[in-house]
Structure 1
Amino acid sequence: MSDTAIEIQVHGSLSSIAASDWDSCAQYGAKARPTDPFTTYRFLKALEDSGSVGPGSGWQPQYVTAHAGHEMIGATPLYAKGHSQGEYVFDHNWAHAYENAGGRYYPKLQIAVPFTPATGRRFLIKPGHAEIGQAALIQGAMEVAKTNQLSSIHATFCTENEAKIGEKLGLLHRTGQQFHWINQSYGSFEDFLGNLSSRKRKNIRKERAQAKAFGGEIRCYTGEQIQPHHWDALWTFYQDTGSRKWGTPYLTRAFFDIAHDTLRNDILLVFAEQDGQPIAGAMNVIGQDTLFGRYWGCTEHHPCLHFEICYYQAIDWAIRHGISKVEAGAQGEHKLARGYLPVTTHSLHWLADPNFSDAVARYLVAEREAVAEEIEVLTDYGPFKRDDREEQD
């Protein structure tokens, strides 16, 4: 990299950034399909234009971009947060401790894709600029925090490499856990089942049979196959799940309308239909090498239908389309029995108060050890064969 000075800019809206400039940082090297659909300009712009983020949402955009001369070399999706909702890396205890000590935890700054617990780059930097670009974006976020006397910065679900760079730059490294399915070059769903222990294999076959007995058909839709009435059904499902899990759904109805126009090629819908009418469904987002499970809901409850639509259909689709991984969202040890194994997730944190930062740093050492131990134990309890000689059925 040259010695050209890096200039930092802060933007209150993506409208002040050209889509081509943003995507040249977020999606460099991408083929026809984006590596990470959540950091594309079109996805983040849909959140903003739909009112899912912005005034009244508790997510106020403060996008930071880095420039070397006339070239934009990096960007980060930064938001001023008035709460800790929609993040999936929980810091509520930190907020309570800080405020009990007389501090003001909110607003804070969040480097994240809103409402999306999916690992991906959070510091969107062009090749050749990695460490210096990430340092510049972090410095830009710190300037926003210091200027506005904000308590902290949190970069959630970043990559492991970004976490290592962040640690070098003095940020606190936190780990967590999710369950991902890995495609071991399976030719079919039956090939995948053949890798499982006999008991798990039989259980999955039983669950799939129960699910498919709901009295209708399961169909997948993507791209031009998705029609406006599919979004109507998905919105109904999403509202039901959102009201039960979060109190209020995070996305607005307008997001799904915009998705129909700009995101259909990135979306896979899986619906259970009776007489052509969807009664349950899930939305997945398609990356270049990963299928991301996102939203599920139903208007009728049937045995094992959730497992079929969210997990088994995702695995089946990934195998048929040569996708290497399925990320099924946050939490859920029940995924282990269905072929999803525990993996480590990463986040970075900067806390303005040095005493509070030291206390959290000590806590994170113990937490990382506990997370690593839990992943080791859960992996040992995984559904896969322990011995190639295990009896086949």
Structure 2
Amino acid sequence: MAAPRIELVPSASAIPAAAWDACAGTGNPFATHAFAHALEQSGSVSAQTGWTPAHLAVRPDEAADPVSVMPAYVKTHSRGEFVFDHGWAEAFERAGGQYYPKLQISTPFTPATGPRLLTRSDADPALLLKGAEAVCRHHSLSSAHATFIPPEQLPVFRDADWLIRHGEQFHWFNRDYRTFDDFLGALSSRKRKTIRRERRGAADSGLRILQLRGADIREEDWDDFWVFYQDTGARKWGSPYLTRSFFTLMSQMMADRLLLVVARMEGRTVAAALNFIGGDCLYGRYWGTVVDVPFLHFELCYYQAIDFAIAHGLARVEAGAQGPHKLARGYEPVTTYSAHFIADAGLRTAVAEFLTHERDMVARDIEIMRGMTPFRRDEG
């Protein structure tokens, strides 16, 4: 039999959607062909934005559909990744190296754990890592970085001798709750009262809060959301990552995966939070508002997400990056993972030493924060 072919693919559109999704599965919305294609078609990722698509595909022969896909991008900066390597870049460049361009294996602008090696059951995921290493060497890229890797894919990266990095996020877990009050019942009395007070504050503001899905989300809703997204992006990142057309394309391609929680005042939408629906998880992504209402952020982004997860039997809510303030709202600290191939031996040694200390620090932080969760101590 012929050896499998590893190809560098310049766009998601060059791979049939059915073949891509046969590798990705259906559980994670960010791993789908539709999401990658919407990013590219909308111009949100491109050479101009510093995210040049450079996907890898493994085919059993020249004519066959891919049996493995690695969504990847050549980067000329480190923005929009949420696993920060600016210090590595600065140190390498001070030493006379060139850190950029690099290869980023991730879902752009999305700090959500998901598969990075999209493979059919009969395919070898290690071939994708060999391909990524070959791309780095052939194109003089300093490194390759796979971020927010699911734990079940870590052994493949470890076996390939990639460096493993630990981070932390805050996720909410559904312990067979039937209602939001069931969830509150698992909390300490003081924390339970705090959340009820916050929910009342949002409810008493005169706002009407709606959960919109699929075809119920109109273009006017995306126009409103774009205003919120631009404002939040300008304050957090300096400029928004996604273009306006991305939201329309996403709504056309994967409407069943979207949950838009909106707050309306006198018929006008004044705030909204966008979520993506996975097989067993709700992923909170973006939010914004043009009004100042106490606790509205908590209501739209956290409590409405918990309501939805309970009502639809989802196992957890991932609320994105940052946020120790999520701890008091029932979100628990978890370890996140990334893997890194460093071509330069000296830089690899320095990064490996840094990661050893960082992993210890992350483990200590998570242990401390687990003792600060709002759950009743008799619940463990």
TM-score band, normalised by shorter chain: over 0.9
Q: Which one of 87, 103, 117 corresponds to residue 81 of structure 2?
A: 87
Alignment partners' CA distance in 1, 2:306 and 2:4: 43
CA distance 1:24–1:388, shift in 2 (3 Å): closer
CA distance in 2, matches of 1:21, 1:264: 20
1:248 maps to which residue? 239
Superposition deviation, residue 224 in structure 1: 1.4
- 1:128: how far off? 3.8
Would you say 1:115 and 2:113 are equivalent positions? no
Per-residue deviation, 1:285:
0.3
After superposition, the C-alpha distances for 1:332-361 in whole angstroms (9 at most, x for unaligned) are 000000000000000000111001101111
- Tell me which residue corresponds to 1:264: 255
**Of the candidates 13, 16, 20, which is equivalent to residue 15 of structure 1?**
13
Q: Report Cα offsets for 1:312-334 as digits up to 9, x if no partner.
A: 00000110011111000001000
Aligned residue for 2:72? 78
Secondary structure at 2:378 match in 1: coil
Structure 2 Cα separation of the partners of residues 76 and 42 of structure 1: 15
2:196 aligned to 200, 205, 230, which one? 205
Q: Distance in 1 between matches of 2:18 and 2:254?
A: 16
Identify which of 264, 285, 294 aligns with 2:276: 285
Query: In the alignment, what sits opposite 2:49?
Result: 57
Map of 1:98 onto structure 2: 92
* CA distance in structure 2 between the aligned counterparts of 1:213 and 1:366, rounded to whole angstroms: 47
Alignment match, 1:225: 216
Question: Residues of 1 paired with 2:282 and 2:67: CA distance?
Answer: 28
Kept in 2, the 8 Å contact 1:186–1:192? The answer is: yes
Aligned with 1:158: secondary structure?
coil
Q: Deviations over 1:152-172 (max 9, x none)?
A: 000000111222221111100
Cα distance in 1 between the residues matched to 2:158 and 2:2: 25
Q: Report whether the alignment pairs 1:181 with 2:181.
A: no
The residue aligned with 2:3 is: 5
Residue 373 of structure 2: SS of its match in structure 1?
coil
Aligned pair partner of 1:147 in 138, 158, 161: 138
Separation in structure 2 between the aligned mates of residue 275 and residue 262 of structure 1, nearest angstrom: 31
User: What secondary structure sits across from 2:319 in the alignment?
Assistant: strand
Amino acid at match of 1:9: E
The Cα RMSD (Å) is 1.2
In structure 2, how many angstroms separate the alpha carbons of the residues matched to 1:293 and 1:143?
35
2:211 alignment partner, SS class: strand
Identity %: 50
Distance 2:128 2:326 in 1: 36
3-state SS, counterpart of residue 135 of structure 2: helix
Contact 2:251–2:258, Cα closer than 8 Å, also in 1: no
Does structure 2 conserve the Cα–Cα contact (< 8 Å) formed by 1:290 and 1:323?
Answer: yes
Cα offset for 1:388?
5.5
Cα distance in 1, alignment partners of residues 135 and 16 from structure 2: 22
What is the CA-CA distance between 1:264 and the residue it aligns to? 1.6
Question: Which structure 2 residue ranges, 5 or more long, are not aligned?
Answer: none
- TM (norm. structure 2) is 0.97
Supply the distance in 2 between the matched residues of 1:223 and 1:286 (Cα, whole angstroms). 11
SS in 2 for 1:369: helix
CA contact (8 A) 1:228 1:260 kept: no
Aligned with 1:302: secondary structure? coil
Per-residue deviation, 1:221:
0.1
User: Partner of 1:179: helix, strand, or coil?
Assistant: strand
**TM-score, scaled relative to structure 1:** 0.94
What corresponds to 2:121 in structure 1? 127
Q: How far off its partner does 1:216 sit?
A: 1.8
Q: How does 1:149-168 map to 2 (within 5 A)?
A: 149-168=140-159
Measure the CA separation in 2 of the matches of 1:55 and 1:258: 20
Give 1:51 shift.
Answer: 0.1
- 1:269–1:382 distance in 2 versus 1, CA, 3 Å: same
State the distance in 1 between where 2:35 and 2:314 align.
Answer: 21
Confirm or deny that 1:276 pairs with 2:267: yes
Spell out, residue by residue over 1:38-93, the C-alpha distance to the aligned partner (whole angstroms, 9 max, x if none).
01011110000000001311000000001123352110101000100000000010
Deviates more, 1:368-377 or 1:338-347: 368-377
Q: What secondary structure does 1:270 align onto?
A: strand
Structure 1, unaligned runs of 5 or more = 28-33
Letter in 2 for 1:43: F
Q: Which residue of 2 aligns with 1:31?
A: none
Cα offset, 1:4, TM superposition: 5.8
SS of residue paired to 1:342: strand
